[in-house]
């Protein structure tokens, strides 16, 4: 089955700086890679996603890049704000179900 690894597990940045979270996956059949933001005690919220036929996607301060050959994808958040503080999960969808990474606790320091 699919195996998704995520790094780092914790990340602290100063407000206004950029944050990068990286994930690798194992199943070359995976073709959909969403990123979720989860605040404490709440449901995961989809923030951006990318399919395997695209190398990069951007939505305002958030961007995702995908390298199919190397089987890794990354989340980039620019101009971070305190409200960006949360746990971020990457996921890969190969056969209709999501496999999640272990999560990254992002803290944006004011």
Partner 1 sequence: GAVVSQHPSWVICKSGTSVKIECRSLDFQATTMFWYRQFPKQSLMLMATSNEGSKATYEQGVEKDKFLINHASLTLSTLTVTSAHPEDSSFYICSAPRSGRDQETQYFGPGTRLLVL
Instruction: Determine the Cα–Cα distance for residues 83 and 19; give it in Å rounded to an integer.
Output: 13
By beta-carbon proximity to partner 1, the closer residue of 14 and 53 is: 53
Peptide bond into 8 cis (omega under 30): yes
By beta-carbon proximity to partner 1, the closer residue of 80 and 101 is: 101
Give least dist CB 84 to partner 1, A.
19
Instruction: Determine the Cα–Cα distance for residues 13 and 16; give it in Å rounded to an integer.
Output: 8
Give least dist CB 43 to partner 1, A.
4
**Residue ranges binding partner 1 (CB under 8 A):** 32, 34, 36, 41-46, 49, 51, 89, 93, 96-103
């Amino acid at each position: 089955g699919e195996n998704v690894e995520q790094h780092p597990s914790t990340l602290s940045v100063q407000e206004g700086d950029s944050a990068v979270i990286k994930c690798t996956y194992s199943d070359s059949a995976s073709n959909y890679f969403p990123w979720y933001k989860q605040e404490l005690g709440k449901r995961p919220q989809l923030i951006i996603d990318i399919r395997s036929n695209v190398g990069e996607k951007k939505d305002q301060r958030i961007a995702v890049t995908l390298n199919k050959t190397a089987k890794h994808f990354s989340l980039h958040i620019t101009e971070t704000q305190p409200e960006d503080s949360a746990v971020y999960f990457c996921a890969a969808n190969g056969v209709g179900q999501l496999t999640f990474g272990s999560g990254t606790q992002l803290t944006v320091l004011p």
